[in-house]
């Protein structure tokens, strides 16, 4: 069975000031697309396209990207969280083989290659 892409995208949601006055700044999905407030979208797109970043430059799949964003954007002033338990499961809990099997059952292209 193919998963419905309308139920996706599998996303990380980035919030500013998460403890006092949470404000959604942007969402990054497993396909590498960034949406949200324009200034934040531009900032995140610039960072994701920065070839000088040794981590992002080596990424080939959206799963790697979401793991990286989740880890690197969670600080005291900004928090990155999954949009659903299913996203967290796909990104964090599936083995590489299980993830490849999941990709084969969905129409979502998680490749970050141009």
The predicted-structure confidence for 27-61, as pLDDT tens digits, reads as follows: 999 998 889 988 888 888 888 777 777 787 788 89
Q: Is residue 92 part of a domain?
A: yes
**Range 21-29, long-range pairs (CB < 8 A, 24+ positions):** 25/78, 27/83, 28/65, 28/66, 28/69, 29/62
Average pLDDT for residues 2-15, to the nearest whole number?
A: 67
Q: Is residue 98 part of a domain?
A: yes
Q: Which domain holds residue 39?
A: 5-104
Domain count for the chain, please give it.
Answer: 1
Confidence of residue 79 (pLDDT cuts 50, 70, 90): confident
Give pTM, 2 decimals: 0.80
**CA torsion through residues 49, 53, 55, 57, sign:** positive
Instruction: Give the pLDDT score at 6.
Output: 45
Confidence of residue 76 (pLDDT cuts 50, 70, 90): low
Q: Is residue 110 part of a domain?
A: no
> Please, which residues bridge with residue 27 across strands?
13, 35
Q: Is residue 79 part of a domain?
A: yes
Average pLDDT for residues 84-105, to the nearest whole number?
A: 95
């Amino acid at each position: 069975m193919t998963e419905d892409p309308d139920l996706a995208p599998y996303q990380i949601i980035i919030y500013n000031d998460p403890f006092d006055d949470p404000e959604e700044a942007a969402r990054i999905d497993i396909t590498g697309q960034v949406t949200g407030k324009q200034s934040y979208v531009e900032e995140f797109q610039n960072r994701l396209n920065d070839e000088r970043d040794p981590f992002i430059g080596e990424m080939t799949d959206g799963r790697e990207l979401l793991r990286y964003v989740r880890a690197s954007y969670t600080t005291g002033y900004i928090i990155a969280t999954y949009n659903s338990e299913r996203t967290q499961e796909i990104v964090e809990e599936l083995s590489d083989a299980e993830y490849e099997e999941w990709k084969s059952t969905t129409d979502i292209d998680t490749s970050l290659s141009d």
